[in-house]
Amino acid sequence: MEYRYLGNSGFKISEITYGNWLTHGSQVENEIATQCVRASLDAGITTFDTADVYANTAAETVLGEALKGERRESLEILTKVYGPIGPKGPNDLGLSRKHIMEAINGSLTRLQTDYVDLYQAHRFDYETPLEETMQAFADLVRMGKVLYVGVSEWTADQLRAGHALATELGFQLISNQPQYSMLWRVIEAEVVPTSTELGISQVVWSPIAQGVLTGKYRPGEQPPEGSRATDEKGGANSIKRFMSDDVLTRVQQLSPIADEVGLSMAQLAVAWVLQNANVATAIVGGSRPEQVHENVKAAGVKIPAELLTKIDDVLGDVVESDPAKTLESSPKTREA
């Protein structure tokens, strides 16, 4: 495992992060979830990403149990605030001061820790003044409940505004957590250049395009039994944008490229996002410990420039690169 600095800070995280979206507390039994966390630790992963909204707080609880007994100082625990939790009342979501202050206490209890290393605004909140949100984060940093602050799926303009306020308030905004993969490159035109300028790193999710880049989904065939594309709890809906025959056909053509660098297709996908210098870590999940062991082999890999070009040529116009897609990721109203 290799480690990278997060943003313009002295804080290092593992190049591969274990994340439990769509798995812990919902898709995967708790015992298997714990085995995946143990496999991550054995592989040198020290960074774990979750959110209070995952499985309506259950994912944080499972992660807290799985990490119990580990040396806290040797871990980097990342969580998020924004999404609706609890009974989903009017103040059970968003980035108001009330919700942020209450949400962090709930997260700390479930994670069984006194602080989180990185607390992230899970989306941009159009209904709360940005000044209110950033002041709440500043106060949590001063209280010691949060060591660093990040965001998720913010546009370049939103990052610039948030960074300016953080600087005024005496703390750093050091990370953004966007979707990023060979198939989904919407951050490259605007978010990455702005982040590089401001000293903000990317903590990327879905580097394998929710399993599509493993090659297990084949054009014209039904998805494999038990795969994410068959999960009606949320997995199938999140993956459907990549399930066209055109995309799946192109993905199959990546197999010889993966062979050239001695990687599986999943490992190639994870290694690909790590070639971007602004990416600090790739979040990988796993419904089996074996998947975790396989994914970590992407750490430290250097893909030759000619193969990166070949990947671009193979995927062609199925790649989504419209920067406006980031703007669409945050809801314009704060409805539960």
Tell me the per-residue pLDDT of 1-35, one tens digit each, with 9 for 90 and over.
999 999 999 999 999 999 987 655 555 567 888 88
Active-site residue, selected from the candidate residues 54, 82, 119, 217? 54
> How much is the average pLDDT of 176-200?
98
Residue 243: the pLDDT is: 85
pLDDT at 304 over 70: yes
Report if residue 336 sits inside a domain.
no
Report if residue 97 sits inside a domain.
yes
Residue 7: the pLDDT is: 97
Q: Which of 128, 14, 105 is nearest to 52 (CA)?
A: 105
Report if residue 221 sits inside a domain.
yes
The domain in which residue 143 lies consists of: 3-328
Residue 22: the pLDDT is: 63
Report if residue 172 sits inside a domain.
yes
Quote the crossing angle between the two packed helices 156-169 and 191-198, to the nearest 10°. 20
d(CA 90, CA 113): 27
Is 54 assigned a catalytic role?
yes
CB 218 within 8 A of CB 248: yes
R_g (Cα) of the chain, nearest Å: 19
Q: Which of 33, 330, 335, 319 is nearest to 158 (CA)?
A: 330
- CATH assignment of the domain containing 25: 3.20.20.100
Buried b (16+ CB within 10 A) or exposed e, 190-226: bbbebbeebebbbbbbbbbbbbbbbbbbeeeeebeee
Which residue has tokens 């990052």?
Answer: 159
Q: Over the stretch 221-255, which tens digit does the pLDDT of each residue have?
A: 777 666 655 566 655 567 778 988 899 999 999 99
Which residue has tokens 């000293």?
Answer: 199
pLDDT at 336 over 50: no
Q: Over the stretch 113-171, which tens digit does the pLDDT of each residue have?
A: 999 999 999 999 999 999 999 999 999 999 999 999 999 999 999 999 999 999 999 99
State the pTM of this model.
Answer: 0.92
* CB within 8 Å of 84: residues ≥ 6 apart: 53, 92, 93, 336
Which DSSP helix (H) or strand (E) runs through 19?
strand 16-19
Q: Over the stretch 214-230, which tens digit does the pLDDT of each residue have?
A: 998 888 777 766 665 55
Report if residue 80 sits inside a domain.
yes
Report if residue 30 sits inside a domain.
yes
Report if residue 49 sits inside a domain.
yes
Report if residue 255 sits inside a domain.
yes
Strand runs (DSSP E) across 82-186, as ranges? 116-121, 146-151, 173-176
Total domains present in the chain? 1
